[in-house]
Structure 1
Amino acid sequence: MILLSFYLKLALGFLIAGFIFHFIGFASPFWNKYSSSHLGLWTYCSDTYRGTTCGSYSAQVAGVHAARAFEVLAVLGYIVLLILLVLYIRRTNVTMLHLSIVAAFVIVALIIIGILCWVYAKRQHEYGLHFAFAFCCIGAILTFVGGILLIRERMTITVVTRGTTSTTSGGVSATRTVTHTRVTVSR
C-alpha cells in the first residue's frame, strides 16, 4: 500500500483537474463564438438551417499555429508530469519531485503563451471568447496551484544521507555508501 502525504494528494487532485479542464478546452471547438458560428483550435462550426456543420480549417494566421503548438506541448507536458509523479511516488526520489515541480510550471507557461497567441491572432475579429478558452485558463490556474502544492510537499521532506567516506592512501581505496531516507516533518 502506498501512503501519500496530504499535500501530495491535494497536488495530484489539482493537477488531474487541471489536465481535464485543459484537455476539454484543447479539444472543444468553442474558443470563440460569433452569432451562429464557433471556432476552436482545430475546428470551425457553423449553424445552418440543416443543423450544425463542422469542419477542420487551416489557419492562415501564424498566431493560430503558435497557439496550437503551445497547447499541444502543454498536453504532452501533462503526460511527462504524470510519469514523473508516478516515479516519485513509487521510488520516493526527490529528483523526480523537483522535475515534477519544474514540469508543472512549464505547463502553465505553455498554456498561457498559447492563450496569448490565440488572443493576439484573433484580436481584429469580432469573435467573443467562449467556454473552451475559459477551460484552458482554468486548467492553467489549477496546474499552477498543483505546482505550489508540490513545492509544499518538497518542504515536508528531509533527506537524510548516511554513509562512510574515506580517502585513498597507499593504493587502498574505500567506497562510499549513501542511503536516502524520507522523513516527513509535521508542523
Structure 2
Amino acid sequence: MDLSSISVFVKVCMILIPLGALLHLIGFASPYWASVPNFHGGIWKICKVNRLCEDYLDWPSLPGWLRATQFFETVGLILIGAAGILLILTILVQMFRDKKIFSILNAILCFAAAGCIFVGVIIYGTQDGISTYLSWAFGLCIVGGILVGVAGVLLIVSAVARG
C-alpha cells in the first residue's frame, strides 16, 4: 500500500475522523452532559450523588426533546462510522481512490454527521434548567462534531485540488 499518492488533506482526515468519532462516542455514552451538586445526567442515564444510576430506557416516557437529542446524536455517530469506513475504502481500494465522487460523498457524510451532532447538542443545550449546568461530555460531543466537520471541508478541498 503506497500512501505517497494520497493527498495530505486525506491523511489529515485519517486522524480527524477517528478522533472526532472517539470524542463523540465518549461524550455520547457518558452521563455527564449536565451536572449539578446532587446529580449528573447524559442522554442515556441519570445518576444521583450516591452513585445510583437509572437508565432512561427504563422510564415509561421521556420528554420529546430528550428523544430528539438521542436520535440526532445516534444518527451522527452512525454517519461518522460510515464516513470512516468510506475513508478507509478510499485509501485502500484503487477503484475508490481514482474517483473524485467518493471524496465528495465522504465529505457529505462528514457534514451530515456534524450537522446531526450540532442539532442534538442545540436541542439539549437550550432546555430550561439545563443550559447553565452543561458539563464535559456535552463539550466532547461538540468537539467531535467540529473535527468531523473540518474533515469534511478538507475532503472537499482534496477533491477540488485533484481536479
TM-score range for the pair, normalised by the shorter chain length: 0.7 to 0.9
TM-score, normalised by the number of residues in structure 1: 0.77
**Displacement of 1:86:** 2.3
Matched letter for residue 138 of structure 1: V
**In the alignment, which of 147, 155, 158 is matched to residue 152 of structure 2?**
147
**Displacement of 1:126:** 7.6
User: Which residue matches 1:103?
Assistant: 109
Matched letter for residue 10 of structure 1: V
Larger relative contact order (CA 8 Å, sep ≥ 6): 2
RMSD over aligned Cα atoms: 1.6
Matched letter for residue 154 of structure 1: A
Any idea what SS the aligned residue of 1:156 has?
helix
**Displacement of 1:156:** 2.4
C-alpha distance in structure 2 between counterparts of 1:41 and 1:125, whole Å: 12
Q: Does 1:128 align with 2:136?
A: no
Q: Does 1:12 align with 2:18?
A: no
Q: Deviations over 1:39-70 (max 9, x none)?
A: 0010111112xxx1112023531000000000
User: Which residue matches 1:63?
Assistant: 65
1:47–1:67 CA distance, 2 compared to 1 (3 A): same
C-alpha distance in structure 1 between counterparts of 2:131 and 2:77, whole Å: 28
User: Which residue matches 1:80?
Assistant: 82
**Displacement of 1:83:** 2.2
TM-score, normalised by the number of residues in structure 2: 0.87
Indicate the percent of aligned positions where both proteins have the same amino acid. 28
Q: Which has a greater percent of helix?
A: 2
Q: Which has a greater percent of strand?
A: 1
C-alpha distance in structure 2 between counterparts of 1:146 and 1:114, whole Å: 20
Larger radius of gyration: 1
Runs of at least 5 residues in structure 1 that lack an aligned partner in the other structure: 159-187
Q: Does the 8 Å contact 1:87/1:96 carry over to 2?
A: no
Q: Does the 8 Å contact 2:76/2:117 carry over to 1?
A: yes
Q: Does the 8 Å contact 2:125/2:131 carry over to 1?
A: no
Matched letter for residue 54 of structure 1: C
